[in-house]
Amino acid sequence: MYIYMTEDMFSYEILALVKAFYPEESHVLKMTEPEGEEDFLFLKFTDKEVCVMGRRSGHCLSEQKEEITRTDRRLCKDSVKKAVYRILHESSPVTLPWGTLTGVRPTKLFMELIEQGMTKEEIKAFMQNRYLVTEEKTELGCQIVKTEQELLHKIDYKNSYSIYIGIPFCPTTCLYCSFTSYALKQYSSYVENYLEALFQEIEFVSDCLPDKKLATVYIGGGTPTTLNVGQLEALLKKVKESFDFTHVAEFTVEAGRPDSITKEKLELLKQYGVTRISINPQTMKDETLHIIGRNHSVEDVKRTFLQAREAGHENINMDLIVGLPNETEEDVQKTLEAVMALEPDSITVHSLVLKRAAVLNMQRDSYKEFTFGDVDKMIKLGADFAKEAGMKPYYMYRQKNANGSRNSSRENIGYALEGKEGIYNILIMEEKHTILALGAGASSKFVYPVTGRIQRIENVKNVNEYVERIEEMILRKKSFIEGEYNVSD
């Protein structure tokens, strides 16, 4: 489909919307008027209006017009996207559950409206009218943000900060993974040097925000428990010695893959005060685990979970991915039945994403025989099972390039029993709180206290470069904190 525009206004957002309706087609953007191609979308801008026209499969579509206010960029963008949505919807049976919203954090809008003093009904009407969000998703958004708001105020988020520590090593690389991670078999010799560099970064940030209290600590990856017992203990000891845990409401470690977890490691996590862990099966179907490159079985998941309980862990999350290769709705239902039988404290249901860096995407010709189920229905199964278990949704974000039906809502949703919510997950999604991120590929987010403006300071992704350039990584943070960040805006 060719997309023509008389002005380069909101082209990124418009392209994202077109891709949501037609994800399997290629799209060409041109700053001209139509030149006769069969399928096109044409946006003509005037001072006060956008007019959207198009042709699909040889049929001309009815014009859609919206008034635009050029002095209010956000309102102008929303009006343009609404006109584009309406004409695309005319040529397609698809209804996007989140309407014109294409970003990954729709709940930030709900939070903003709550803070403006809107009632739940006013928020729902606003989201449906301005962004064409469905009734179901406006209800979900309101429910999640209500829970988030209650939890955020308990930790005094405005006067505190959090720490993220990345351990970019895994037993193997999963077929769908696009995170910064390195298979331990090939990179075991890098671990000690990596930890040495990481400890330098920890030492710097341990007192770089003296006027703020530490609220949460999250060790993720990769798979942190890929570290051997000695390395894991050294990391935990360094963290506990470097930071004041007086006000820490949550200390999370992604135990992650069962093939990296041992009874000794679970006991070590408990010994060092870790309050929340994740054991992530992704699926409870052995055939799928083999396909995606995991070296553990369903029985390993069950054994590891029970060992965690025996070690005293009282807040265990389990991550699941729906839309995995060759999995049906029946497979997802069986996974949910098996997981819920273990009685986790929370689950997170992810939509499969095929990012550019994922093996499954880069080598897609090698996996042509794979089939993918209806992600929307699978997400609904997750919601139903969570509700039956007494869990409520407490945070969510949307994925880009998600696999599944083209009207997939592309959500990752966390469900938890009361009091078992992952506070860090909320903080990272709502972006209301500074998070210092340490390690290869980590991205710190500095939130300005007055305006809420966010400044990102990123570390290099490559492990070797991180080790070799650790002083530079530290200097990036130091220069910003001692310079611009202390200036009130």
Domains of the chain and CATH, by start: 2-90 (3.30.160), 107-141 (no CATH), 155-438 (3.80.30.20)
Residue 312: partners with Cβ closer than 8 Å, 6 or more residues away = 270
- Answer whether residue 242 shows pLDDT above 70: yes
Chain CA centroid to CA 325, Å: 21
DSSP 8-state assignment for residue 253: E
User: What is the reported pLDDT for 409?
Assistant: 65
Look at residue 407 and tell me whether its pLDDT is greater than 50: no
pLDDT digits (tens, 9 = 90+) for 194-225: 999 999 999 999 999 999 999 999 999 889 99
> Tens digits of per-residue pLDDT, 61-89?
999 999 999 999 999 999 999 999 999 99
Q: How far apart are CA 78 and CA 131, in angstroms?
A: 7
DSSP string, 258-295: GGG--HHHHHHHHHTT--EEEE--B-S-HHHHHHTT--
Residue 428 has pLDDT above 80, yes or no: yes
Q: What is the pLDDT of residue 256?
A: 82
pLDDT at 400: 67
| 283-341 pLDDT tens trace | 999 999 988 888 899 999 999 999 999 999 999 999 999 989 899 999 999 999 999 99
Name the 3-class secondary structure at 14: helix
Q: Is 134 exposed, middle or buried (0-12, 13-18, 19+ CB in 10 A)?
A: middle
Phi-psi region of 390 (alpha: psi -120 to 50; beta: other; left: phi over 0): left
pTM of the model: 0.92
> How far is residue 187's CA from residue 118's CA, in Å, rounded to a whole number?
52
Q: What is the pLDDT of residue 1?
A: 85
Calpha distance 486→31 (Å, rounded): 42
Residue 102 has pLDDT above 90, yes or no: no
The residues, any chain, with a CB within 8 Å of residue 167's CB and separated by 6 or more, are 219, 220, 221, 222, 223, 224, 226, 227, 235, 439
- The partner residues of 220 in beta bridges, in order of sequence, read 166
Instruction: Please count the CA atoms within 13 angstroms of the CA of 467 that sit on its side-chain side.
Output: 12
- pLDDT attached to residue 58: 85
The burial class, CB within 10 Å (0-12 / 13-18 / 19+), for 20 is: buried
| DSSP run (H or E) holding 108 | helix 107-115
Cβ distance 409 to 98 under 8 Å? yes
Instruction: Among 89-98, 109-118, 205-214, name the one with the lowest average pLDDT.
Output: 89-98
The mean pLDDT value of the chain amounts to 90
Joined together, the tokens standing for residue 15 give: 């392209």
Q: Render pLDDT for 152-210 as a digit per residue (tens, 0 to 9).
A: 988 999 899 999 999 999 877 666 565 556 777 787 899 999 999 999 999 999 999 99
